[in-house]
A = this chain, B = another copy of it.
């Protein structure tokens, strides 16, 4: 309709999570109508982020500085490391503003079916951070999946020799959640972790 440039742009936009061909066309059209104020700033932001953002050598968080903003923050509690599967989980915890320790991004979980073994995870630096630093507790905040549980179990074994306390985030009824829509596993976990009120 409007040359290969437009089709190519729509094709790339459609591959973004949450976008499809229809929304990609709408986004492309909106930007094409304001190239200076919409397209070029986004192009520059993408180029800049691709150029500057790298995984933190300490924790694996994505940041334009290394060590990352969190690892470099003197106000962070250095006695705790929260282990997450991915940077998206780290972002979610930061948005919740409920945790003030350090993080460690595992970059996945053990998954024999997908061929992901211990050597594919960001574990070696976790062990060296614990032995070299002042860490007293490692909180495993992995997904409540079979692979997440297996990884938590395996990590607990790996961390045992360091003497650090290893905990896992609680499982149960999410805030605002109705019981009748929860799966059996969550209901079982909620009952198992019941507390005196």
Contacts and interface: CB of A to CB of B under 8 A. Distances in A.
A45 B65 CA distance: 27
Interface stretch (A5-13, A76-84, A119-127, A128-136): A5-13
Contacts of A15: 38
Contact of A45 (B8, B49, B61): B8
A63 B28 CA distance: 12
Contacts of A41: 12
Nearest to A87: B29
B1 A91 contact: yes
Interface in A58-87: 61-65, 68-70, 86-87
A29 to B, nearest CB: 5
Interface in A101-139: none
Interface in A1-39: 1-6, 8-9, 12-13, 15-19, 22-23, 25-33, 35-36, 38-39
A16 B1 CA distance: 21
A15 B39 CA distance: 11
Contact of A39 (B13, B22, B50): B50
Contacts of A2: 53, 61-64, 68-69, 87
9 contacts: A1-B91, A2-B87, A9-B46, A16-B27, A17-B30, A19-B23, A29-B91, A31-B50, A32-B87
Given A3-B64, A26-B88, 15 more contacts: A1-B61, A1-B63, A2-B64, A3-B52, A3-B53, A8-B45, A12-B45, A18-B23, A25-B88, A28-B49, A29-B87, A32-B53, A35-B50, A40-B46, A43-B47
Interface of A: 1-6, 8-9, 12-13, 15-19, 22-23, 25-33, 35-36, 38-50, 52-53, 61-65, 68-70, 86-88, 90-91, 94
